[in-house]
């Protein structure tokens, strides 16, 4: 009896182990299960971390809500701490550790996004601020008694009902017509924000916790942002553009002012400086400010951000840090460890990792070994350093960092562990090739799930946008979705991408569709030579600049059996004044009435002006309300191919901006991608394609 029972237990245990080990490919149903983890924040005592978790709401067909979670620095007690029907974001601990603050539009004494406080000793969260404008950000003062708020002026002409509310029903009173939109700015539109109208700005305000009083920091009439308190709480550094026409001269200066009502600001950087992203960082002794500087505006699409230092009293001019400049890489997320040492993140050849720089020194200490991608660092003295990190087959989670340990990162949050334990992913490897002129190009190749080495498979060249961005060692749902459906996926960091230095990024300046096409073709050739890609089953596609390059590729190379071009343009001159890139047009190419510029516009409009060379069946897609790359770009190319008798289709997503966020549309786009490729590369009438016709 004991022997039979023992055998039974063994069989059950073996079955359980097999079930635990059984994995499946990624599916589109997983879109609704995947958690987005972001914005980790160390508590002042270093014992815990707060972070944000959001998830698509597939049932309601909305991007979903976000809530706050906390976890101990030891990885224990991971738990959700907010759960209202409205989203919460931007968690910040008060420096004294008493409160955890956050922003939310949940119902309260004032409408719109406001700062809320959660007493860490217990009790419900309560609304703290009652600002009437649009709250853009906030920072605690070192003594926990005040907040620095960045608030945009309210829109006095905002309609009472949404623009898509439709006509009133029969018998109802007609709705009041919205006022005409009057434009008088040089740059007058921005995706999601809409039309940029004169007379409204964003300012820095001081909010007193005890009295609930709200006061303007300065008396200026220009946009202000990125407030940063001095260590002693007596001053605030902030960014502002005080040029006569900020649209034409988008150079953000660094200012400092006393942390008091209507202070006089003092410029620390010249009006011609190119302020970068992020707020300035104070040294612990308050004597120095570290900040990011960008490149000249003519290189705005390709520039890197540089580490600069300036004396906080204005006694010396800003200077770039030579050790950081010698890296020839973009930097971000500045943090003073001591008065003489800074840490920052470096974007470097498919990785993003932290480095340590000694002020006045010549060396840069790399704190992690690539390949690795980290982001959103948060610090609490020597007690707590956390980042977001993941990998080619790991979703981003919160990690504790100990750069002196043999294992520099320890996972703290586990939001996606259960899902990813079920999934089998395609393997990702680095690939290199020599372009036509000898330039080395780097990329990532993801092979299909269960790929057998030595076999040739259909391959998709999926081109990233930007162009000043990089494909990197981070989880990409799209890559793994195609890998789950039998495709190899090639992601290339063509010239114009970040991570390879200034010369590499600026190589395509005013010369679009040249070196990028050479680089992309060389990488496709390499994967064919490797024996992975079937040269008779190649597809191409991308979104934004990836869509633009897709148009260049199909106009230059007829070997692709199918293409998907999302949010792209091909007749560039037709977009002068219709999208949000007027500064780039004027300073990189020039106005169209300039004869030399006109030659450039003709050259970079190659895909449209030579559409008769295109033989590839192409699916064009875009968001109806996209001000970044208006959907007219896809419409023009669709009409050209339709006129030429090339198999094509145009998909427009109603009420969507440049990024598609409605869950049903996100799923729809993936289904259409796959159906188009399956039909034209593999000759299959995919089920997804049939389903779309029935919708």
Give the pLDDT of residue 163. 43
* Cβ–Cβ < 8 Å for 135, 149: yes
* Cβ–Cβ < 8 Å for 89, 104: yes
Give the pLDDT of residue 169. 56
Residue 466: alpha-carbon gap to chain centroid: 10
| Contact partners, residue 283, CB within 8 Å, separation at least 6 | 289, 290, 336, 339
Category of 567 on φ-ψ map: left (φ > 0), alpha (ψ -120 to 50) or beta: left
pLDDT beyond 80 at 451: yes
- Distance, in Å, from the CA atom of 350 to the CA atom of 471, rounded to the nearest integer, reads 6
pLDDT beyond 50 at 689: no
The neighbour count for residue 384, using CB atoms within 10 Å, is 21
Under DSSP, the state recorded for 578 is: T
Under DSSP, the state recorded for 589 is: I
* Cβ–Cβ < 8 Å for 203, 216: yes
pLDDT confidence bin for 19, thresholds 50/70/90: very low
* Cβ–Cβ < 8 Å for 594, 661: no
**What SS3 state is found at 342?**
strand
Closest by CA to 667, choosing from 642, 691, 633, is 691
For 155, the token pair is 């829109």
The neighbour count for residue 312, using CB atoms within 10 Å, is 20
User: Which carries the bigger pLDDT value, residue 5 or residue 98?
Assistant: 98
Say if strands 562-566 and 533-543 run parallel, antiparallel, or are unpaired: parallel
- Torsion from C-alpha of 602, 603, 609, 612, nearest 10 degrees: 160
Under DSSP, the state recorded for 263 is: B
User: Mean pLDDT lowest for which of 395-409, 448-462, 571-585?
Assistant: 395-409
* Cβ–Cβ < 8 Å for 445, 457: no
Closest by CA to 575, choosing from 589, 561, 562, 563, is 589
pLDDT beyond 70 at 406: no
Average pLDDT of span 169-196? 84
pLDDT over 90 percentage in the chain: 81
pLDDT, averaged across the chain: 91
DSSP state letters, 594-636: SHHHHHHHHHHTHHHHTGGG--S-EEEEEETT-SSS-THHHHH
Give the pLDDT of residue 118. 96
pLDDT beyond 60 at 11: no
User: Mean pLDDT lowest for which of 22-31, 207-216, 288-297, 470-479?
Assistant: 288-297
* Cβ–Cβ < 8 Å for 206, 261: yes
pTM for the model: 0.92
**What SS3 state is found at 237?**
strand
pLDDT beyond 60 at 12: no
Average pLDDT of span 512-526? 98
- Distance, in Å, from the CA atom of 191 to the CA atom of 189, rounded to the nearest integer, reads 7
* Cβ–Cβ < 8 Å for 175, 161: yes
């Amino acid at each position: 009896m004991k022997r039979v029972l023992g055998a039974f237990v063994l069989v059950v245990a073996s079955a359980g182990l097999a079930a635990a080990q059984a994995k499946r490919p990624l599916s589109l149903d997983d879109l609704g299960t995947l958690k987005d983890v972001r914005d980790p924040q160390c508590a002042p005592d270093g014992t815990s971390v707060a972070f944000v978790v959001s998830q698509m709401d597939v049932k309601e067909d909305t991007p979903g809500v976000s809530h706050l979670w906390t976890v101990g620095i030891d990885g224990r007690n991971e738990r959700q701490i907010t759960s209202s029907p409205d989203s919460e974001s931007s968690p910040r601990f008060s420096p004294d550790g008493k409160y955890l603050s956050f922003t939310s539009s949940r119902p309260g004494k004032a409408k719109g996004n406001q700062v809320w406080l959660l007493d860490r000793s217990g009790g419900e969260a309560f609304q703290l601020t009652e600002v009437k404008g649009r709250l853009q950000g906030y920072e605690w003062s070192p003594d926990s008694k005040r907040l620095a708020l960045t608030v945009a002026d309210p829109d006095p002409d905002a309609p009472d009902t949404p623009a898509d509310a439709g006509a009133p029903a029969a018998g109802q009173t007609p709705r009041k017509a919205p006022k005409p939109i009057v434009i008088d700015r040089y740059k007058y539109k921005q995706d999601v924000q809409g039309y940029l109208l004169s007379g409204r700005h964003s300012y820095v305000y001081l909010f007193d916790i005890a009295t609930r009083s709200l006061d303007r920091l300065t008396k200026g009439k220009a946009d202000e942002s990125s407030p940063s308190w001095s260590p002693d709480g007596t001053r605030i550094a902030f960014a502002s553009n005080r040029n006569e026409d900020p649209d034409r001269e988008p150079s953000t200066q660094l200012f400092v002012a006393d942390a008091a009502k209507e202070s006089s600001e003092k410029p620390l950087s010249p009006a011609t400086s190119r302020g970068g992203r992020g707020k300035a960082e104070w040294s612990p002794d308050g004597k120095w400010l570290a900040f990011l500087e960008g490149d000249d505006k003519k290189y705005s699409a390709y520039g890197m951000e540089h580490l600069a230092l300036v004396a906080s009293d204005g006694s010396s001019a800003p200077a770039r840090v030579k050790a950081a400049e010698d890296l020839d890489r973009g930097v971000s997320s500045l943090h003073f460890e001591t008065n003489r040492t800074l840490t920052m993140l470096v974007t470097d050849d498919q990785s993003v990792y932290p480095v340590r720089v000694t002020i006045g020194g010549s060396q840069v200490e790399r704190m992690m070994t690539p390949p690795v991608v980290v982001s959103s660092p948060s610090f609490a003295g020597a007690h707590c350093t956390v980042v977001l990190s993941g990998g080619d087959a790991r979703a981003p989670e919160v990690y504790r960092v100990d750069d002196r340990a043999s294992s520099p990162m320890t996972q703290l949050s586990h939001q996606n562990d259960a899902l990813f334990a079920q999934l089998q992913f395609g393997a990702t490897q680095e690939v290199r090739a020599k372009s036509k002129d000898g330039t080395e190009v780097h990329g990532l190749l993801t092979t299909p799930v269960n790929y057998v080495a030595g076999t040739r498979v259909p391959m998709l060249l999926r081109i990233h946008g930007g162009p000043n961005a990089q494909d990197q060692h981070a989880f990409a749902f799209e890559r793994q979705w195609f890998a789950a459906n039998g495709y190899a996926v090639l992601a290339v960091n063509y010239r114009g991408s970040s991570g390879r230095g200034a010369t590499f990024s600026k190589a395509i300046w005013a010369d679009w569709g040249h070196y990028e096409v050479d680089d992309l073709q060389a990488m496709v050739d390499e994967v064919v030579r490797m024996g992975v890609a079937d040269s008779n089953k190649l597809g191409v596609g991308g979104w934004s600049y990836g869509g633009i390059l897709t148009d260049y590729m199909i106009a230059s190379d007829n070997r692709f059996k199918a293409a998907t071009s999302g949010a792209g343009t091909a007749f560039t001159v037709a977009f002068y004044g219709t999208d949000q890139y007027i500064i780039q047009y004027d300073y990189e190419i020039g106005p169209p009435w300039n004869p030399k510029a006109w030659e450039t516009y003709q050259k970079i409009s190659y895909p449209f002006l030579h559409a008769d060379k295109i033989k590839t069946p192409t699916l064009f897609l875009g968001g109806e309300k996209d001000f970044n790359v208006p959907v007219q770009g896809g419409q023009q190319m669709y009409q050209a191919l339709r006129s030429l008798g090339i198999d094509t289709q145009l998909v427009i997503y109603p009420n969507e901006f440049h990024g598609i966020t409605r869950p049903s549309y996100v799923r729809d786009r993936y289904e259409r991608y796959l159906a188009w490729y399956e039909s034209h590369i593999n000759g299959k009438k995919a089920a997804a394609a049939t389903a779309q016709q029935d919708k």
